[in-house]
Amino acid sequence: NMMEVNESRIAVAILEQPVDWSGDLVDVVFLLAVKMTSNYEIRRTKQFYKDFLLLTESSENMDTIKRFDSAFSIYQYFIR
């Protein structure tokens, strides 16, 4: 529920063993908590989702993310 979000955040979990997610094996999980209470936040979130999908739909990008050893490294990769 976006009304319960105080500040937008992203959490990333890289699993040691993949889990079955509706027939797909998943080893990277993203939790997105976004706040969209103004037109600016809505526009910003829509752009974020477009960029996020471009980044995560590439298996090469996902392999790169899996190799990082810190949250800060993943953050730097996302903002570049």
For the segment 4-57, what is each residue's pLDDT rounded down to a tens digit?
888 888 888 999 999 999 999 999 998 988 888 889 988 988 888 898 888 889
Apex CA 44: angle with CA 38 and CA 67, to 5°?
135
Burial of 44 (0-12, 13-18, 19+ CB in 10 A): middle
**What does pTM read for this prediction?**
0.71
What pLDDT, in 10s, does the model give residues 55-67? Answer: 889 899 889 988 9
Residue 73 half-sphere exposure, CB side, CA atoms within 13 Å?
Answer: 7
